[in-house]
Amino acid sequence: MADLTRWLQAPPTRGAWAFGAALLAVALPTAVRAAVNGVVTGCEFTPYLPFVLLAAILLPWWLAAMVAMLSVGVLEGLFVGQTDAMLAECFATGAGIFLASSAATIGVMVAIRRVFAATQLRGIDELDGGIVFSLERNEVWASWYGSGPPVRLGSQAKVRAMMEDFIAQVEFAKRLKGGANNL
């Protein structure tokens, strides 16, 4: 359940993985489109639609939008070109409809994330405040009331060592402070 909560609050793929996933979300439907190029000709965006949906779910909104825009450019560059005026007119209409439906898909996912985040924060007494630690599959996560999704801190062993070191430093500081008061 915690994984689903994180997926609904923020995209699970970030950094270099997100860029790789965005490129894959353009490359895979392009390969499908190329495979049916003899059977299907023209400005069909159908293979790209499911990948825009996956990008909206797995990636930040701006990368999902980049997937949609790159899909239009790739389809135009590889399959349509400037060879036929009627085909170019079909492409312009199809591209507009594809981009509008992609924007709606991405917008709905962003709205779902915002609504889910708002419902998660409802009823939380921020006066109690503080940090909440959780453990899932030997990974320690930290979250703060009133903020975004949890942050992965590291493995249980590493975080435990860091916390023990922190507590030792606090105790050492208390002893130094106490010793200075006794002079």
Tens digits of per-residue pLDDT, 3-41? 666 666 666 677 788 888 888 888 888 888 888 766 665
What pLDDT is stored for residue 177 in this prediction? Answer: 84
What pLDDT is stored for residue 65 in this prediction? Answer: 93
What pLDDT is stored for residue 101 in this prediction? Answer: 94
Answer whether residue 143 shows pLDDT above 70: yes
| Residue 40 CB contacts under 8 Å (≥ 6 apart), including other chains | 33
Structure pTM? 0.60
Answer whether residue 114 shows pLDDT above 80: yes
Least confident of 2-6, 61-65, 94-98, 101-105: 2-6
What is the Cα–Cα distance from 107 to 141, expressed in whole angstroms?
A: 28
Answer whether residue 147 shows pLDDT above 80: no
Mean pLDDT of 38-67: 82
Answer whether residue 132 shows pLDDT above 60: yes
Answer whether residue 103 shows pLDDT above 90: yes
Given the DSSP bridges, would you call strands 151-155 and 131-136 parallel, antiparallel or unpaired?
A: unpaired
What pLDDT is stored for residue 57 in this prediction? Answer: 87
What pLDDT is stored for residue 31 in this prediction? Answer: 86
